[in-house]
Structure 1
Amino acid sequence: MSGAEVPRSSRHFVLAAGGTGGHLTPAFALAHELERRGHHVALVTDERGANIPGKPDFLTAHVLPAGRFGKNPLGWPRAIMAVLKGRAMAKRLYETVQPSAVIGFGGYPAVPALLGAQAMDIPTVVHEQNAVLGRVNRLFAGRVNAIATAYGEVDRLKTKHSAKVHLVGNPVRPGVLALRDEPFPPFMEDGIFRVLVTGGSQGARVLSEVVPDGLSMLPPALRSRLQVTQQCRAEDLEAVRNRYASHGIPAELATYFEDMAATLADAHLFIGRAGASTIAELTAVGRPAILVPLPIATDDHQAANTREMVKAGGARSIRQSRFEAKELAKQINAMALRPDTLATAAHAAWNCGRPQAASDLADLVESFGGADMMEVIRVGANNARGASQGAEVGQGAARESAR
């Protein structure tokens, strides 16, 4: 579907997402693709999402009330009132823009947006970025027209909903996707060994504490060639810098890297968390990784996110409870002592990538409210390209009727 272009009439779509990068990154990628196809796109989110860096200039943001349902039932009445108010505001918005479909990406702001759409018989789609169906997407799974997933295996997704599931992948930023056809950086027995360490937008303290010491325990043949790039919390920078200096390991440290695509392009090995966007970028580019799932992630979804990449041989996963310097050194040594082992892991990671995710997701949402001739591929397998990397894409009938 995403190969030859077909004439499309201009329509309106509304994207609804929580205000975190995990929800908004795929939403922004879809917005870019729909806008490129000539459609009009609006965003429903919260205050954080409306002001988050990276929001496309063409994407108008609408902030709706969205109550949070915490563990304390005393707060639920207020949350329900906020949702009802947001639902009413969403319906007024839809009367104005007349969307062909409303697409939810998880997070509480998606609740009133999806409720308003379903009250007006507007087709709805949800996209799940993680390998565990999130709370909001679980709430709507039985009522939406389609469920787009980033992984072939998704926990807490009921079998009875399988007929409406479409495996599309997790869209990544164009700058990162542009690296997919670039070769893995040369890794020779006497060359530099570049390691990239990140822990999310604010860094992760456990990485700052463990990684420098773990790298210092590598065999001299590896340790002497190290060049580390690490994201740290501002309050940890000086301590981490001193720790690397004490080990004689050159390291570039920062709280934020402006051009993460360029940083990732040079890396031979990634060490960090297992967020959905992180893994999507690693597999899009083909970078081997040692992943440390966030232990407090809802439903332990980061651990689930690692399954596909680990099974393929592109990554190793270490639970934070076992993430110690000695264990890290052991895993790095197993992956990188020989150049061919690391290159093989990079190839395996590349094979897990789904570079057409934004296009396939756009095909799916375009199939609602359009002309009868519009169809969408049901993605039944990895659609990575390449002589040995490629996998066949299921071409089963997948048109959903807009109710």
Structure 2
Amino acid sequence: MKRLAITTGGTGGHIFPALAVAQALRVMHPGLEVAFVGGHGPEAVLARKAGLRFVSLPAKGVFGRGLRGFAEGVLSTRAIIMAMGFYRTFRPDLVAGFGGYASFFPVVAARLLGIPTALHEQNSVPGVTNKLLGKIVSRVFVTYPDEAGVFPAGKTVHTGNPVRHDIAAMWQAPAKDDAGSRNVLVLGGSQGAQAINTAVLAALPRLLDSGIKVTIQTGRADFERVAEAAGETSEARRAAGRAEPGELAIENFIEDMAAAYAWADLIIARSGASTLAEITSAKKPAILIPFPFATHDHQTVNASFMAKAGAAVVIDQKRLDPASLADLVLNLFDHPERLSAMALAAGKLAAPRAAETIAHELSALAASRTCTGGRS
């Protein structure tokens, strides 16, 4: 393989798996040229930070948005023409889509040109975009078993969800030896989660009074609100002479997630597929609060896999309140044997070599094109 185009966008949950596979392929194929084809989300910054060429195409959500979505879809079809023009000059051996509406037109353009195509579905319940693309691509990779038979069985491979290399490496790392630490890492995904942030803020006094250290990744949009409220909490504690023993850190975005996972003893998070893949690779117990407005409520389904395995406790956002959240956190830390069992269960759900597995499959797919004279 000499040239690869990957396409996705919108959130880190789609982007990081794509970057993980690109990294694995560059190790397998030194000198591989990788172009990241995306929309107008955070993908441009993340792709360039990873040293990848970035190509921006117009992309908007089309499906499930009525007439407005249809109109925007008609306008966005020019993305097919633009993508085809780029592929004719870049000449990729393969185009791989990693979900989200930003991948739809670039994958369709590749299929029209006879370039081998592949798709990765992260979630337990595929969205409309991937359901459609699954019918035309050469290979489909899935995070969860396709028990509903959404994709053609003959071209579907159960791989798990790729995670960044440094996080995947945590699966083989020895267990944390800081006995007695009580560190809670709060994550809402790359975009943050206001409902979780609000509940944790209200629970902070009890958590900090119990000696628990808390780090909250707020998401950039909610950072100022959370930082201000946390500052007021800290000031009130100092005024009351209760600044210790707990500690609090507020971050809008955590760059070194591997270090954050290594520090944590318990995760409070949404249940996007990439978040769960990272939690299981890091072998961490979790309290999961699924985003209730996710398409097809897929986050609840995702979380149920963790809960059934004993790796997580799931809280419906409608039932999320600070008192019960604090009770649960404190109860878990009061029963370290339960946290250890949850961590062990999380590790059993991990797929730390998902990126390499997909990379090998893509390499074979690209090689088959060469053997057949360029036909997909």
Matched, 1:124 2:117: yes
Q: Per-residue deviation at 1:124?
A: 1.2
Q: Per-residue deviation at 1:162?
A: 2.2
Distance 1:264 1:35, change over 3 A: same
Distance 1:281 1:50, change over 3 A: closer
Q: Per-residue deviation at 1:129?
A: 1.5
Give the match's secondary structure for 1:127. strand
Mapping 1:4-403, distance limit 5 Å:
10-38=1-29, 39-49=32-42, 51-53=44-46, 55-69=48-62, 71-74=65-68, 76-83=70-77, 85-153=78-146, 157-158=149-150, 161-186=152-177, 188=179, 191-214=180-203, 224-232=210-218, 233-243=223-233, 248=242, 249-370=246-367, 403=376
Q: Per-residue deviation at 1:372?
A: 9.1
Give the match's secondary structure for 1:237. helix
Distance 1:51 1:137, change over 3 A: same
Q: Residue type of the partner of 2:141?
A: A
8 Å Cα contact 1:145/1:402 also seen in 2: no
Any stretches of 5+ residues in structure 1 without a counterpart?
1-9, 375-400
Q: Residue deviations 1:82-111, cap 9 Å, x none? A: 21x221222222222322221111222212
Q: Residue deviations 1:218-242, cap 9 Å, x none? A: 7xxx963311112232222121343
Whole-Å separation in 2 of the counterparts to 1:15 and 1:261? 24
Count matched residues: 360
Whole-Å separation in 1 of the counterparts to 2:291 and 2:331? 23
Whole-Å separation in 1 of the counterparts to 2:211 and 2:60? 52
Single out whichever of 237-246 and 166-175 deviates more from structure 2: 237-246
Give the match's secondary structure for 1:179. helix
Q: Residue type of the partner of 1:23?
A: H
Distance 1:210 1:371, change over 3 A: closer
Distance 1:213 1:66, change over 3 A: closer
Any stretches of 5+ residues in structure 2 without a counterpart?
none
Going by fraction, where is helix more abundant, 1 or 2? 2
RMSD across aligned positions (CA): 2.7
Single out whichever of 11-20 and 290-299 deviates more from structure 2: 11-20
Q: Residue type of the partner of 2:225?
A: E
Distance 1:89 1:262, change over 3 A: same
8 Å Cα contact 1:22/1:277 also seen in 2: yes
Q: Per-residue deviation at 1:56?
A: 4.7
Give the match's secondary structure for 2:101. coil
The percentage of counterpart residues that share the same residue type is 34
Whole-Å separation in 2 of the counterparts to 1:176 and 1:314? 18
Whole-Å separation in 2 of the counterparts to 1:43 and 1:358? 16
Whole-Å separation in 2 of the counterparts to 1:54 and 1:15? 10
Single out whichever of 319-328 and 254-263 deviates more from structure 2: 254-263
